[in-house]
């Protein structure tokens, strides 16, 4: 029986700016997204029945239809009913390495892997842009998770422009196991506190979005200027998450005091990342911060930038 193992990398946000409200109730965003090598593994194979079965080794991850990977499989069954009838359902096994509800798009990556896996299992021959169109129906980060690498994301985060890929930057991730931040809470709180700064007129949003292409961070990426990249990291959501979670703010300050290129919270948090020039430096910084904040709930990962999204594990 044909089966596939897929690698689904996590992402970090090098840049996240909230421009305003969209008519569909989401926020209009400008983000620069970066894949990292920390990844989940998704094994997918045909099931004996027409049903979708999902298993996950992480107790916090739901295994019912609320799981994004399950919803991705359901979407494929709905869009390709003849293939579903012909090939039957699928059985999905998720092996979690990416921390859950951490601002690292773990669930989105799992869903992206399921779309890629079913495309292979059912021999649909969908192109990457076709898969990304389907992905956008499920969630804003999923189109990026399919392609991976380094990309500019606008709209809700689903409109992607590839930018020069960044290599050889090491990343330390740190997250308190007992803290998780719900993404909707972070955006709603931001709206409550900062909606007076929102750009209200659609034309102004469009011209503001166009200007991002000349923004200093994109230039720094184009020139692979690591020092500048580290200095220009930005995340609007820090303004609401850090005051509500003082431990996360303290963690970021601890990284900022080290010899790092830069440090920032990823997405809606609470993961904080720091960028380093080498693996040795990343390990040294991690050890320093670990001795400063002696909390058994604080977990660290050392990883590096990745240049691709979903990959088939041979
Ligand atoms: P994002 O950065 O895209 O907002 P996140 O990294 O903050 O996502 P996830 O790890 O994707 O967060 O999980 C958010 C919530 O989604 C979890 O609390 C979990 O209940 C639910 N969830 C649904 N499907 C998955 C999945 N496949 N893996 C992890 N969590 C999932």
Q: For 227-279, write each residue's pLDDT tens digit.
A: 999 999 999 999 999 999 999 999 999 999 999 999 999 999 999 999 999 99
Residue 37 has pLDDT above 60, yes or no: yes
**Ligand 1 touching residue 143 (CB < 6 A):** no
pLDDT at 14 over 90: yes
- The response to whether residue 61 sits with its C-beta less than 6 Å from ligand 1 reads yes
pTM of the model: 0.94
Distance 106 CA to ligand 1 centre (A): 6
Does the beta carbon of 100 sit less than 6 angstroms from any atom of ligand 1? yes
Rounded to the nearest angstrom, the distance between the alpha carbon of 45 and the centre of ligand 1 is: 23
As a CATH number, domain 4-164+308-312 is 3.30.230.10
Domain boundaries, the chain: 4-164+308-312, 170-304
- Would you name the residues annotated as active-site residues? 11, 141
Is 67 near ligand 1, meaning CB less than 6 Å away?
yes
Cα 132 to middle of ligand 1, angstroms: 19
Q: What is the pLDDT of residues 46-60, one digit of tens each?
A: 998 999 999 999 999
Q: What is the 3-state secondary structure (H, E, C) of the chain?
A: CCCEEEEEEEEEEEEEEEEEECCCCCEEEEEEEEEEEEEEEEEEEECCCCCCEEEECCCCCCCCCCCHHHHHHHHHHHHCHHHHHHHCCEEEEEECCCCCCCCCCHHHHHHHHHHHHHHHHCCCCCCHHHHHHHHHHHCCCHHHHHHCCEEEEEECCCEEEECCCCCCCEEEEEEECCCCCCHHHHHHHHHHHHHHHCCCCHHHHHHHHHHHHHCHHHHHHHCCCHHHHHHCCEECCHHHHHHHCHHHHHHHHHHHCCCCCEEEECCCCCCEEEEECCHHHHHHHHHHHHHHCCCCCEEEEEEEECCCCCEEEC
Give residue 1 CA to ligand 1 midpoint distance, Å.
30
The residue nearest atom 27 of ligand 1, judged by CA position, is 107
Confidence of residue 62 (pLDDT cuts 50, 70, 90): very high
Please state the atom number of ligand 1 nearest to the C-alpha of residue 104: 6
Domain 170-304, CATH class in plain words: alpha beta
Task: State the pLDDT at residue 314.
Answer: 79
Question: Does the Cβ of 268 fall within 6 Å of ligand 1?
Answer: yes
């Amino acid at each position: 029986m044909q089966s596939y193992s897929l690698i689904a990398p996590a992402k970090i946000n090098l840049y996240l700016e909230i421009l305003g409200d969209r008519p569909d109730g989401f926020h209009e965003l400008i983000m620069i997204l970066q894949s990292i090598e920390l990844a989940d593994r998704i094994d997918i194979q045909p099931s004996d029945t027409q049903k979708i079965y999902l298993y996950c080794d992480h107790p916090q991850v739901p295994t019912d239809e609320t799981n994004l990977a399950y919803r991705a499989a359901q979407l494929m069954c709905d869009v390709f009913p003849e293939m579903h009838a012909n090939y039957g359902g699928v059985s999905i096994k998720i092996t979690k390495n990416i921390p859950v509800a951490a601002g690292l798009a773990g669930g989105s990556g799992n869903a992206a892997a399921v779309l890629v896996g079913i495309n292979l299992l059912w021999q649909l021959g969908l192109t990457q842009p076709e898969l990304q169109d389907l992905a956008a129906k499920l969630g804003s980060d999923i189109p990026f998770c399919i392609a991976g690498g380094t990309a500019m994301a606008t709209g809700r985060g689903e409109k992607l422009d590839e930018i020069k890929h960044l290599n050889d930057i090491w990343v330390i991730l740190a997250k308190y196991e007992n803290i998780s931040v719900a993404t909707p809470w972070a955006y709603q709180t931001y709206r409550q506190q900062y909606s007076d700064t929102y750009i209200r007129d659609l034309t102004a949003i469009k011209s503001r979005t166009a200007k991002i292409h000349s923004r200093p961070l994109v230039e720094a990426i184009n020139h692979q200027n690591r020092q500048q990249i580290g200095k220009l990291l930005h995340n609007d959501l820090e303004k609401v998450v850090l005051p509500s979670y003082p431990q996360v703010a303290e963690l970021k300050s601890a990284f900022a005091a080290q010899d790092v290129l830069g440090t920032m919270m990823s997405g809606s948090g609470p993961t904080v990342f720091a960028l380093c020039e080498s693996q040795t430096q990343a390990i040294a910084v991690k050890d320093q911060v670990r001795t400063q904040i002696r909390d058994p709930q604080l977990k660290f990962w050392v990883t590096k930038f990745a240049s691709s999204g979903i990959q088939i594990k041979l």
